Amino acid sequence: MAPTASTIKAYDNTAPDQAATETATFALGCFWGPDAQFGALDGVVRTRVGYAGGTITDPTYHDLGDHTEAFQVEYDPAERSFLDLLDLVFRSHDPTQQTRKTQYQNIIFVATTEQREALTDYLDANDYTVDGIATRVEQLSRFVPAEDYHQKYSLRNKRSIMAAFEDAGYDETAIRESPAAATLNGHVVGHEVSDADALGIASNRSVHST
């Protein structure tokens, strides 16, 4: 089974638009893995990978400067909360350890007062403090999308699925911002997705997402 241009378009057309979603930004090492992991979650609408946390104006993969590989999650707050995302973030890495290489460090970026308050509540509930963990906590100042070939990286290796996006007339930006691409990117690496039928794909038996 493989998605078609019509199933991809139908899926994306029924997804919440950006005005109805909220955005969270995190860094958890190489951004390919979490992009797929979070894209498979119910309530997550869109994902994208990029660079954040640094000072240079135009970071690129080969000239990151002091930026870190990061990913953004656009989610429907009626289905998935920022606290839910934080819980998965903390379960996906060891907050007592931090890699020395800036490119792959673990960072929680907060963009709003509400996100900072939610993070404080989460840390308190789990006996953590900002000063007591190695994971960096930073105010998000800017997120720079990574190069096209990094967006939905695992999905790009599935030619049969990518052909459907081409048939649907999607350009690189449309693929990056596509809810169907976010979900399928998680599916192709083995994460279970609840929308398998809507996308015309077989359900994965091994459940990696929550």
Domain of residue 121, CATH code: 3.30.1060.10
Mean of pLDDT over the chain: 95
The number of beta carbons lying within 10 Å of the beta carbon of residue 125 is 10
Q: What local confidence, expressed as pLDDT, does residue 210 receive?
A: 43
Please provide the DSSP assignment of 154-204 as one string. Answer: TGGG-HHHHHHHHHTT--HHHHHH-HHHHHHHHHHTT---TTHHHHT-PPP
Residue 207 lies in a domain: no
In this structure, of 12-21, 23-32, 174-183, 192-201, the range with the lowest mean pLDDT score is 192-201
Residue 173 lies in a domain: yes
Q: Is 203 left (phi over 0), alpha (psi -120 to 50) or beta?
A: beta
Calculated CA dihedral for residues 163, 165, 169, 173, nearest 10 degrees: -130
Strands 136-139 and 106-110: parallel
Structure tokens at 156: 């790009």
Scanning the structure block, which residue is given the tokens 């057309």? 13
The number of beta carbons lying within 10 Å of the beta carbon of residue 17 is 8
Residue 82 lies in a domain: yes
Residue 142 lies in a domain: yes
Q: What local confidence, expressed as pLDDT, does residue 206 receive?
A: 44
**pLDDT tier at 205 (50, 70, 90 boundaries)?**
low
- Enter the pTM of the model: 0.94
Q: How does DSSP classify residue 21? A: -
Q: Is 130 annotated as catalytic?
A: no
Residue 202 lies in a domain: no
Residue 64 lies in a domain: yes
Cα–Cα separations (whole angstroms), residue 17 to 21, 50, 53, 75, 115: 7, 21, 27, 10, 21
**pLDDT tier at 207 (50, 70, 90 boundaries)?**
very low
**pLDDT tier at 2 (50, 70, 90 boundaries)?**
confident
Side chain identity at residue 60, one-letter code:
T
Count: domains in the chain: 1
Nearest-5° Cα angle at 75, 131 to 184? 115
Structure tokens at 185: 């990117």
Residue 203 lies in a domain: no
Side chain identity at residue 181, one-letter code:
A
Read off the pLDDT of each residue in 104-121 and give the average, rounded to a whole number.
97
Structure tokens at 32: 């390919």
CA pair distance 184, 55, nearest whole angstrom: 33
Q: What local confidence, expressed as pLDDT, does residue 208 receive?
A: 42
Domain residues for the domain of 138 are 5-12+19-195
pLDDT in tens, 71-107: 999 999 999 999 999 999 999 999 999 999 999 999 9
Residue 210 lies in a domain: no
Q: Which helix (H) or strand (E) holds 91?
A: helix 82-91
Catalytic option among 10, 30, 137, 198: 30
Strands 22-28 and 68-75: antiparallel
